Structure 1
Amino acid sequence: MNLNNNRAARAIALVYSACCYVVFLITFLYLIGFVGSVAVPKNINDGPLLAWPLAVLINCALILLFGVQHTVMARKGFKRWLAAVIPTSVERSTYVLLSSLVLVLMFWLWQPMTLTVWEVETTWAKGLLIGLFWLGWGIALLATFLIGHFELFGLKQPIDRWRRATPQAPEFRTPLFYKIVRHPLYLGFLIAFWATPHMTAGHLLFSMGMTVYIFIGASFEEKDLVALFGERYRRYQQEVGMILPWAKSRKKDAE
């Protein structure tokens, strides 16, 4: 009976994680359309216009909510608390689910600010920016597969639990993009957020807010990686830029 219950629990965890992944995938695709104004019911410039102060307040609150949720749930203390509530195998899936739901809330409540900051009309320059937009998303997606896409988004853990696979210790690797920057995922997002031929005030606020969060979030992540990999990661910090290829550690520059 206990074996059956254990198998049922593992099956439920697997189905739950698969559903969380599907929600993430739909949300990720919608995010591309939302930022790029491509094939979605509501993009970053759609919706009734509010007074500027109120629109700025709502949009900043949404960005802050996203940043706080991402940062707090990624901390070890929160993970330990969450592990006492839900199985460890679905902790990452729950993080991914809540992150996706916060993004859905952002899509729904985002207030357009349609003042044009810049608009590129030259054909070659417009094509270049559109190409960079898609390149950014491509870099971000490929970066996840280079380090373990399905583990990053919470599918591998319940699959391993279902198969009763022995957990493997984290392995320090620097494939492809990771030889150029330590966080190519974030670099891809930055390119995608900023590369647009038509930058509105709302899009600019979104890009600025997410850029601030990316650098703050990367700094927190760096501390966790140093704690995990120690001196090996410290050497990596000195040799490779965090998000921008040319922005290497000051310690390295001083040597």
Structure 2
Amino acid sequence: MQMPVIYTNFISTYLPILNPLFNFPYVHINTISSSVTAKLIFNAFLNAIFGLVHTVFAQEFAQVFLGRFLFPKQTLRTVYCLLVTVTAFIIMGFWQHTHIQLWNWLPSTMSDYQQNLALFFIFNVIYAPAWYVVIQFNPFEFCGLKQIFNKTESIGCPYSSSVKSEARTINNPTLVTTGLFRYCRHPLYLITLLSLTITPVMSLDRLAFIIYTCIYGSIGIYFEERKLIQIFGQAYIDYQQHVPAIFPFSVSKTKQN
């Protein structure tokens, strides 16, 4: 849970005003500094905060409340993205490092900066397909900008309340089952796990974060798919029965007639 050196060096050189924001960790909690178990429990609590925000604020009741009392409906997707981003910074900023390395297969002759650069490159190569998924849904819609600036479409927006739940993305009311969605229902979860797991360097902190992510995914997917069933109905139920949730090699128990 450390910011890559390539990022911190760029920020300190060109955007020094942001140094306090990216200077992780924000604080060392002395009362748990000597206990690895206490650190792991505390870090799990941080991930639980992220999971709570990521799941609860995506639910229709939360979106209806925010749209009715706090924010214009066309800004809800952007507000949601900002909330998730803030909680991600909370995880990184307050993460208590165990400083335990499980393995490092990179050459010992490489400097710390070279190792960080190699890890940054490997992660982004593996994560690259995730950007294809974002493009499928339109990046501007994904972060909520289109909903804000397109007046003709701001009347109806994702997560708004209606007799029938509206589509999760404007102008995309049909279920997407093409591209990576042909192989698993949640390719972003899969790609994130692969990006974290396939690495020549593994620390206890990284392994713990992978485990926390798997636990959250098993819970978050349930609530996400419950909402998708409300949106797409029987079409999504059929999709569930024939396409695995995360791992493409999983075999569905229900065969198509």
> TM range, normalised to the smaller chain?
0.7 to 0.9
Q: Which of these residues, 160, 170, 190, is aligned with residue 173 of structure 2?
A: 170
Within-5 A mapping of 1:1-255 = 34=3, 38-40=6-8, 50-51=33-34, 52-85=36-69, 86-121=71-106, 133-161=123-151, 168=171, 170-252=173-255
8 Å Cα contact 2:190-2:246 kept in structure 1: yes
The answer to whether the 8 Å contact 2:148/2:154 transfers is no
Q: Answer whether contact 1:146 1:175 (CA < 8 A) is retained.
A: no
Superposed displacement of residue 55, structure 1: 1.6
Distance 1:80 1:48, change over 3 A: closer
In 2, Cα distance between the equivalents of 1:163 and 1:77?
A: 21
Superposed CA offset, 1:56-91 (max 9, x none): 232111101000111110111111111112111011
Give RMSD over aligned pairs.
3.1
Query: Distance in 2 between the 1:222 and 1:117 partners?
Result: 35
* Structure 1 residue 215 displacement after superposition: 2.7
Asked whether the equivalents of residues 98 and 204 of structure 2 are also in contact (C-alpha less than 8 Å), the reply is yes
Compute the displacement of 1:141 (Å).
2.0
Q: Is the 8 A contact 1:130 1:195 kept in 2?
A: no
SS at match of 2:231: helix
Identical aligned residues as a percent: 27
In structure 1, C-alpha distance between the alignment counterparts of 2:40 and 2:246, rounded to whole Å: 27
**For 1:153-180, what per-residue CA distance to the aligned partner results, in whole angstroms no more than 9, with x for missing partners?**
1111112227768764622222311111
**Distance 1:163-1:225 versus aligned 2 partners, 3 A rule:** closer
Distance, in Å, in 2 between the alignment partners of 1:131 and 1:215 is: 28
TM-score of the superposition, structure 2-length normalised?
0.73
Whose helix fraction is larger, Structure 1's or Structure 2's? 1
After superposition, give the CA deviation of every residue in 1:115-160 in whole Å (9 maximum; x if it has no partner).
122322479xx9x987652233212222111122221211111122
Secondary structure, counterpart of 2:150 in structure 1? helix
User: What do residues 3-40 of structure 1 show as CA deviations (whole Å, max 9, x unaligned)?
Assistant: xxxxxxxxxxxxxxxxxxxxxxxxxxxx8x73x66543
User: 1:84-126: per-residue Cα shift (whole Å, max 9, x none)?
Assistant: 1211101111111111111111121111112122322479xx9
Instruction: Give the Å deviation of 1:249.
Output: 3.2
For residues 96 and 102 of structure 1, the distance between their equivalents in structure 2, rounded to whole angstroms, comes to 10
State the alpha-carbon separation in 2 of the partners of residues 215 and 163 from structure 1. Answer: 33
* CA gap 1:248/1:235 in 2 versus in 1, 3 angstroms: farther
| Cα distance change of structure 1 residues 213 and 108 upon mapping to structure 2, 3 Å threshold | same
TM-score (norm 1): 0.74
